[in-house]
Structure 1
Amino acid sequence: QDGSKVDPGVRASYIFNSTIAGIEDADALLIVGANPRWEAPVLNARIRKRYLMGKFPIAAVGPAVDLSYPVDWLGEGPDVLSQIAAGSHPFAEILKTAERPMIIVGSGAVARPDGAAVLGLARQVAETAGAVTADWNGFNVLQRAASRVGGLDLGFVPGDGGMDTGRILDGAATGDIKVIYLLGADEIDTKDLDKPFVIYQGHHGDAGAHVADVILPGAAYTEKDATYVNLEGRVQRGQLAVYPPGDAREDWKIIRALSDALNATLPYTTLADVRRGLVKANPVFQGIDDIQAASWGEFGTTGEVSGAFTYPIANFYMTDPISRASATMAECTDEILGGGEGKTGTDG
């Protein structure tokens, strides 16, 4: 949804390779275009824990914010990243002399128009610093969306001749695209979706539901047996706690029923069929709760990079459909932020 310029062909380019626990093994850290205190508070607490252990220089590229530990803010834009990649910046030497240097790239940093070039620079920094060895991979992307990694593992990206999010929205604005199916897509800019026929599948009636012509009510995470992949690439299972209310159904059942109606019946009728299909699409889904090291490879591009990094979360307190649908949370946000500043939560 956010238009990230990651490479789905190289898994190491979009997961948190060091693992969250592995933060404690690192001995130097560079944060690029991320605010982990808001984007991943539990992970940020692990970084703070490592800082308190001592001998852990931390630098960051992006607008200065309070991360709860001392940070050397090197600058706000990717020009600094270019200097580190070239070895001309002083922090490049700190990374090189570290035994286990770590780089954390924010998902917002690679969602820019020049995101592929930013990703390429970050890869160059990791390689130049020796952050990728036989027993250590210090390159990490900080994904924000639940199971974004799982979608990439399944290849849910535009194919040859396909359109990315930006082009789809442009086509909707001009009227070239007649129908749009929003599968839980609430983090996009919906202002130009007045021309196409919009189908929304999801729960809690968030932004996508507000512009929909037809709503297919899906089950919330507590209402279905589901498979997720966290930012480390760890495949995890969630179990149904309560049944979906009313006409709501598990997402795979809605899509299976729709395939029947379109005379394009999908080849699964049970949850077990779906899970076998996941493994067939990508063997990584075979290992539940396992960490599987990703192979390193070429990813990202070369090219011009410019402009300060911006952080994708404007309102920490309303970053998901459930909190945004809560009147109580809205009142609390008004009180904390002072008059509803940043009410839309994530930018996607």
Structure 2
Amino acid sequence: MLKVTINDQMIEVPEGYTVLQAAQIVDTEIPVFCFHQRLNIAGNCRMCLVEMKNSLKPIASCAMPATDGMVIYTKTEMVKKARRGVLEFLLINHPLDCPICDQGGECDLQDITMSYGSGMSRYKENKRAVSAKNMGPLVKTFMTRCIHCTRCIRFAKDVAGIQELGAIGRGEHMEITTYLDQAITSELSANIIDLCPVGALTSAPYAFKGRPWELKSTESIDVMDAVGSNIRIDTYNLKVMRILPRIHEQVNEEWLSDKSRYACDGLMKQRLDRPYIRHNGQLEPATWSQAFKAIKDKLKTVKGSQIAAFVGDMVESESILALKDLMQALGSPHTECRQEGALLSAQYRGGYLFNTSIEGLERSDACLIVGANIRCDAPLIHTRLRKRYGMGDYKVAYLGGKIAKHRDLTFPVDFLGTDPHVLDQILSGKHPFRKILKEAKNPVLILGMEALTRLDAMIILRKCGEIAEKYKMIRKDWNGFNILHRAANRVGALDLGFVPGRGGLARDEIINSVEKNDIKVLYIHGADELPFDRFEKAFIIYQGHHGDRGAHRADVILPGAAYTEKNGTYVNMEGRVQRGIQALQPPGDAKEDWRIIRALSEVLDMSLPYDTLEALRKRMEVINPIYKTLDQVIPGDWSMVGRDGKLSKEPFAPSLNAYYMTDSISRHSETMARCFHDIDIMAKTRGELDAA
């Protein structure tokens, strides 16, 4: 430890700390623009100047390593004068447009100028003007405001891993721009808006929509993927205006994917705001009592074994349990949460979790990815892998379908091909990558949905489990076997056992039984990724919040609440239980989902044994004690999963690269549609040209 004195207070700091980090230990404020704790040090804004004893000039505290016996002062006249001078230079070309700037009220430059500036400028010459840059449909630019802190460039390079931002020119003529004036193709591009300290980069969809002091903020959980990012929902009246990330070091750090941030404009499009009943082939508005009566009349004519239920990817645990209880009361064992067909067993929790944990990836030293398009499925898992690669000495291999160039990992990866029999070679020790796995201290295996939806998925699952055990990925102090989920609450549904009961049918079996007319009633709760063209013979009850694929085929529609409109519990891919908080009321006659199921059970004379959210959550804790723990990763019990057999000769299919429009909310988002057109299509075209 090093002994450093800051403002006459002696402290001890670890080797490698900078003066700025040392000052933060004693809560001494030093203003910064270019410095950010998650980015490499640039040292180019000079706002963090401090005085060091025996130094004739002030030093940049963000870049100066702390040394033993160092004496630092942060409030002397030299420091104050230096900060005023830096701010005066930064403001020389800055436009006086605070009243119309979207950064107003959240601007670091405003705050720091008020605290450390001189309040006047001696600059009389004409200001420099810089043209706006095209950074795509998400980022609005006003580059005259730019102070060249380079945070955006460093984020794109170090965190997102795509070098599509850079600086051209020198001195006063320096400009930040994109490659060939094209949109940024990263799924994390909008994080540069949060990083920009001056309003040069602002949110294009949110431009001129509101001021921060007009908004009501609610802390909640994102449901656009299975990471469980912590978010802040900003609302005005009855509308979600924007969604921003909250800091959670173990989950999303302080980043947020673009879909999670901007798909919220789809929340008010094509909403289901009242019940509907199909008459003569047409859906007609109805009351709740009429809708419930239609369901009751139909259920009277069928047996429990002729009823099946699906839950979708964004459904919260409370309504999943309520629907499971209702199906049990009806006598149906046909319950299914795996709407894409991934036959993961709910018997052993360690067999369907991301066991290493998201933060734990930083401690791994080798990684085998099987059938997972990580940048599309979970962009923030990609940032963790990218972060680990940046630490050095990290080997990654990928086995699966070919991934489009604009969606591949942004660091060196050994491509093992598309033949699933490579797993046999690794298991038998005949493949070169087995040496890396054998020598690694903390190897990990990431198994994705593209592998788990194949016909030989259960065999692949078994092979991967055997690889994990053979190469010591499963130990008391380490579990490197990971399932990469796409669905926000798939783990929560598996924890509650929303899978076929005794004698129950799985996803494909239910679909086949519907075609044979053995299953006559389908209760579909927020599941819009099913083959509805094969459900012609079934009576479909659809409960959800958007007029998406399921609603178009439904015989009765029960309007539910979106994730921003209800209190709900979600379990992310690593098994962390988190709770989303209601930010606003559902539109029209729509209700919270668990209340709909509870009310329906009463009409069916099968009243569920809970009337309040608290009582329902108590029952969740009885079903699975994991729900007693909030914001904790509880290790899952491990046992070999899958089944023995021979792998298919069919190679892995080319990876699906859909990212922007994958669910009922994002499919109705104008912003996501623009991203798909401006970014996805452009990047694919550019990739084809590069290949040619």
TM above 0.5, yes or no, is: yes
Instruction: Go from structure 1 to structure 2 and tell me whether the alpha carbon gap of 1:312 and 1:277 turns closer, same or farther (over 3 Å shift).
Output: farther
- Pick the aligned partner of 1:199 from 541, 553, 556: 541
Residue of structure 1 equivalent to 2:605: 263
Which whole-Å CA distance do the structure 2 matches of 1:199 and 1:268 have between them? 23
Which whole-Å CA distance do the structure 2 matches of 1:41 and 1:229 have between them? 18
Secondary structure of the structure 1 residue equivalent to 2:398: strand
- Pick the aligned partner of 1:28 from 359, 366, 374: 366
Gaps of 5+ in 2: 1-338, 685-692
Secondary structure of the structure 1 residue equivalent to 2:488: coil
Assess if the C-alpha contact under 8 Å between 1:36 and 1:44 holds in 2: yes
Which whole-Å CA distance do the structure 2 matches of 1:72 and 1:96 have between them? 16
1:121 equivalent in alignment to 2:470:
no
**Superposed CA offset, 1:27-57 (max 9, x none):** 0000001110111001111101111111000
1:333 equivalent in alignment to 2:676:
yes
**Superposed CA offset, 1:230-256 (max 9, x none):** 000000001000011111111110110
Assess if the C-alpha contact under 8 Å between 2:402 and 2:654 holds in 1: no
- Pick the aligned partner of 2:626 from 284, 293, 309: 284
Assess if the C-alpha contact under 8 Å between 2:402 and 2:653 holds in 1: no
Instruction: Go from structure 1 to structure 2 and tell me whether the alpha carbon gap of 1:311 and 1:2 turns closer, same or farther (over 3 Å shift).
Output: farther
Assess if the C-alpha contact under 8 Å between 1:109 and 1:310 holds in 2: no
Instruction: Go from structure 1 to structure 2 and tell me whether the alpha carbon gap of 1:269 and 1:313 turns closer, same or farther (over 3 Å shift).
Output: farther
Higher relative contact order (CA 8 A, sep 6+): 1
Assess if the C-alpha contact under 8 Å between 2:460 and 2:642 holds in 1: yes
**Superposed CA offset, 1:104-147 (max 9, x none):** 00023112221111110000010010011111101100010011
Deviation at 1:337, TM superposition (A): 4.3
Which whole-Å CA distance do the structure 2 matches of 1:21 and 1:337 have between them? 29
Assess if the C-alpha contact under 8 Å between 1:85 and 1:128 holds in 2: yes
Q: Give the 5 Å matches for 1:75-154.
A: 75-154=417-496
1:158 equivalent in alignment to 2:500:
yes
Which whole-Å CA distance do the structure 1 matches of 2:490 and 2:374 have between them? 17
Letter in 1 for 2:468: A
Deviating more after overlay: 12-21 vs 108-117: 108-117
Which whole-Å CA distance do the structure 2 matches of 1:98 and 1:328 have between them? 43
Residue of structure 1 equivalent to 2:400: 62
Deviating more after overlay: 305-314 vs 139-148: 305-314
Between the aligned residues of both structures, percent identity stands at: 50
Deviation at 1:328, TM superposition (A): 4.6
Which whole-Å CA distance do the structure 2 matches of 1:233 and 1:337 have between them? 31
Deviation at 1:332, TM superposition (A): 4.0
Assess if the C-alpha contact under 8 Å between 1:229 and 1:236 holds in 2: yes
1:251 equivalent in alignment to 2:593:
yes
1:46 equivalent in alignment to 2:376:
no
Deviation at 1:210, TM superposition (A): 1.3
1:189 equivalent in alignment to 2:531:
yes
Which whole-Å CA distance do the structure 1 matches of 2:354 and 2:442 have between them? 15
**Superposed CA offset, 1:265-304 (max 9, x none):** 1101000011001100000110000110112212111112
Which whole-Å CA distance do the structure 2 matches of 1:311 and 1:274 have between them? 43
1:309 equivalent in alignment to 2:647:
no
Larger radius of gyration: 2
TM-score, normalisation: structure 2: 0.48
Assess if the C-alpha contact under 8 Å between 2:401 and 2:655 holds in 1: no
1:215 equivalent in alignment to 2:553:
no
Which whole-Å CA distance do the structure 1 matches of 2:481 and 2:609 have between them? 38
Which whole-Å CA distance do the structure 2 matches of 1:135 and 1:328 have between them? 44
Which whole-Å CA distance do the structure 2 matches of 1:321 and 1:212 have between them? 15
Deviation at 1:171, TM superposition (A): 1.8
Which whole-Å CA distance do the structure 2 matches of 1:9 and 1:312 have between them? 29
Secondary structure of the structure 2 residue equivalent to 1:156: coil
Residue of structure 1 equivalent to 2:522: 180
Residue of structure 2 equivalent to 1:344: none
Which whole-Å CA distance do the structure 1 matches of 2:375 and 2:675 have between them? 19
**Superposed CA offset, 1:40-91 (max 9, x none):** 0011111011111110000010123321111101111321112112222111
Instruction: Go from structure 1 to structure 2 and tell me whether the alpha carbon gap of 1:139 and 1:318 turns closer, same or farther (over 3 Å shift).
Output: same
Secondary structure of the structure 2 residue equivalent to 1:140: strand
Letter in 1 for 2:435: E
- Pick the aligned partner of 1:14 from 352, 362, 368: 352
TM-score, normalisation: structure 1: 0.94
Gaps of 5+ in 1: 342-348
Secondary structure of the structure 2 residue equivalent to 1:289: coil
Assess if the C-alpha contact under 8 Å between 1:32 and 1:60 holds in 2: yes
Residue of structure 2 equivalent to 1:240: 582
Secondary structure of the structure 2 residue equivalent to 1:78: coil
* Aligned residues between the structures: 340
1:224 equivalent in alignment to 2:592:
no
Assess if the C-alpha contact under 8 Å between 1:20 and 1:232 holds in 2: yes
Which whole-Å CA distance do the structure 1 matches of 2:534 and 2:546 have between them? 22
What CA RMSD, in Å, does the superposition of the two structures yield over aligned residues?
A: 1.6
Deviation at 1:196, TM superposition (A): 0.9
Letter in 2 for 1:41: P
Deviation at 1:311, TM superposition (A): 6.4
